[in-house]
Amino acid sequence: MVVARHSHGQLTIIDRLREMVRLAAGVAENGRIDKEVAARALACLERFGQRLRDMRADSVRAVGTNALRLAHRKQAFLERAREALGHPIEIIAGMEEARLVYSGVAHTMPSEPGKRLVVDIGGGSTELIIGEGLTPLDMESLQMGCVALSERFFRDGKISAKRMERARLAARLELEPVQAAFRRRGWDACAGSSGTVRAIGDSIRALDPQALSITPAGINRAIEYSIDAGHTRELKLEPITEDRRPVFPGGLAILAEVFSVLDIKDMRIAEGAMREGLLYDMLGRYQREDARELTVRAMQQRYHVDLEQAERVESTVRNFLEQTREAWRLDEPLAHLALEWAARLHEIGLDVSHSGYHRHGAYLLENGDMPGFPREEQRLLARLVGAHRRKLSLQGVEELVPPWDRNALYLIVLLRLAVLLHRGRSSTALPPIELSATPRSLEVRFPAGWLDDHPLSSADLQLEVDYLRASGFRLRVFSAR
């Protein structure tokens, strides 16, 4: 955990807390989280929660990475984790993790010309990023990490040349598919981030005080030391802390193969990583440089969205939300953001096919790489777009994290109405429309004569009444007298 203060456009780190719980070791092949590991993680979150108790909700972000990406039926754990920490935990995709890692490194290392390769070895995944300045160019998240590889090849703690070679071979197989693309892109400098790389770098310096960076020779020296030690409990170098020892050989095998496959000659250790990237991402949101906004705009361009139509729907749905926010308790900032993004992106599926385009759009949103978006926000957006027309299906909505498992229906209703009323794609503004909401119903009142003058819209609204009734929601449409 990192705590920072924002002052004069800069972030100053004021506190760091780190505990190794090795959650990746507790996710079984069937996706279940081991009870003992879960308890260890929750106890850690409770301790962190004490530090965060007095902080505003919008000033804290907590994310889960590879272990929680792989876990099944994790909702119960996430609920308990939220209670322990006092804040929700977002699960982010591997590519989003890579983007945040690069941001953390780029913001905390001296600026220099040319491209930079960043390597981050976590417990369950390894991120490789080539970027220039603050912009990532190529990103990969590979399914190998120091915990997973150590569990696989060094579970009993024994370290031998044969085991190390087998671990390196496994890492090499993961790296080979990205080798050509990364070498072709090239880089001018290389940086390693997070605890694994730092522990290896510090160990190399402990073995050779003259070593100023991580090199192939230094890695080989660390491997020889580990094999000579013979067991993780005998790794007595000061940088290899007691909780680091069980996962050190797996991380070392990964870094050795990263150097070999990508032909790295020299690597410096970065102070920043994903946590710092999260801080700068939050700062960007405060300063209207939200990465999610950039992603939405990029997707509008990529999928040839009718921007004028999207703007019409967005304006209307924003008005509808203001009228229902209090009754439906939609006060979370994500409520209006998700509705606006859904309005802007609800037609991206048209770039695939007009038939069932809402389903195509939902698929693109749920399965695409969306920089800046945690998995749950991405999933919420997909549910909104997938349910914005035709018969209303709430499949998957109940799987959303609270409060969206309950409140997503309200957002869907508002989006459906806005899309319906702009079906004609006319630039003529809608009349003043009054909404009155209760927990399971919505009354919509139009000016006198408007529905008579717009028979197609009137027919669509009556059909919408039937669609919503089938899902247990009551929609009533009135014309003012």
Place of tokens 């996962």: 247
- 262 and 39 Cβ atoms separated by less than 8 Å: no
- 433 and 446 Cβ atoms separated by less than 8 Å: yes
Confidence of residue 22 (pLDDT cuts 50, 70, 90): confident
Question: Do 60 and 128 fall within a single domain?
Answer: no
Question: Do 240 and 111 fall within a single domain?
Answer: yes
Place of tokens 């405060």: 286
Distance CA 481, CA 479 (A): 6
What CATH number did the domain enclosing 162 receive?
3.30.420.150
Question: Do 64 and 107 fall within a single domain?
Answer: no
Question: Do 150 and 252 fall within a single domain?
Answer: yes
Question: Do 81 and 107 fall within a single domain?
Answer: no
Question: Do 342 and 426 fall within a single domain?
Answer: yes
Calculate the dihedral angle through the C-alpha atoms of 458, 463, 465, 471, rounding to the nearest 10 degrees: -160
**Quick check: 10 pLDDT over 80?**
no
Contacts of 202 (CB under 8 A, 6+ apart): 238, 239
Mean pLDDT of 66-80: 90
Distance CA 379, CA 367 (A): 9
Distance CA 91, CA 68 (A): 7
Distance CA 125, CA 142 (A): 5
Token readout for 312 is 């019409």
Contacts of 453 (CB under 8 A, 6+ apart): none
What CATH number did the domain enclosing 333 receive?
1.10.3210.10
**Quick check: 48 pLDDT over 70?**
yes
- 244 found inside a domain: yes
pLDDT tens for 335-360 read 999 999 999 999 999 999 999 999 99
**Quick check: 396 pLDDT over 90?**
no
Question: Do 111 and 224 fall within a single domain?
Answer: yes
- 156 found inside a domain: yes
Report the share of the chain in percent with pLDDT over 70.
99
Residue 9, pLDDT score: 65
The average confidence (pLDDT) of the chain is: 94
**Quick check: 470 pLDDT over 70?**
yes
Question: Do 114 and 203 fall within a single domain?
Answer: yes
- 214 found inside a domain: yes
- 79 found inside a domain: yes
pLDDT tens for 154-191 read 999 999 999 999 999 999 999 999 999 999 999 999 99
pLDDT tens for 26-44 read 888 788 899 999 999 999 9
Residue 166, pLDDT score: 98
Total domains present in the chain: 3
- In three-state form (DSSP H/G/I as H, E/B as E, the rest C), the secondary structure along the chain is CEEEEEECCEEEEEEECCCCCCHHHHECCCCCECHHHHHHHHHHHHHHHHHHCCCCHHHCCEEECHHHHHCCCCHHHHHHHHHHHCCCEEECCHHHHHHHHHHHHHHHCCCCCCEEEEEEECCCCEEEEEEECCEEEEEEEECCCHHHHHHHHCCCCECCHHHHHHHHHHHHHHHHHHHHHHHHHCCCEEEEEHHHHHHHHHHHHHHCCCCCCECHHHHHHHHHHHHHHCEHHHCCCCCCCCCCHHHHHHHHHHHHHHHHHHCCCCEEECCCCHHHHHHHHHHHHHCCCCHHHHHHHHHHHHCCCCHHHHHHHHHHHHHHHHHHHHHHCCCCHHHHHHHHHHHHHCCHHHHCCCCCHHHHHHHHHHHCCCCCCCHHHHHHHHHHHHCCCCCCCCCCHHHCCCCHHHHHHHHHHHHHHHHHHCCCCCCCCCCCCEEEEECCEEEEEECCCHHHHCHHHHHHHHHHHHHHHCCCCEEEEEECC
Question: Do 306 and 263 fall within a single domain?
Answer: no
Burial class (CB in 10 A: 0-12, 13-18, 19+), 145: buried
Q: Which residues of 112-142 are buried (b: 16+ CB within 10 A; e: fewer)?
A: eeebbbbbbbbbbbbbbbbbeeeebebbbbb
- 148 found inside a domain: yes
The pairs formed by 296-300 with CB atoms below 8 angstroms and a separation of 24 or more are 296/341, 296/344, 296/345, 299/345, 299/348, 299/364, 299/368, 299/370, 300/344, 300/345, 300/348
Distance CA 436, CA 184 (A): 59
Q: How many CA atoms lie within 13 A of 140 on its CB side?
A: 18
pTM to 2 decimal places: 0.85
Question: Do 22 and 101 fall within a single domain?
Answer: no
What CATH number did the domain enclosing 84 receive?
3.30.420.40
pLDDT tens for 267-319 read 999 989 999 999 999 888 877 678 899 899 999 999 999 999 999 999 999 99
Question: Do 72 and 60 fall within a single domain?
Answer: yes
Range of the domain at 308: 290-430
Question: Do 72 and 164 fall within a single domain?
Answer: no
- 246 found inside a domain: yes
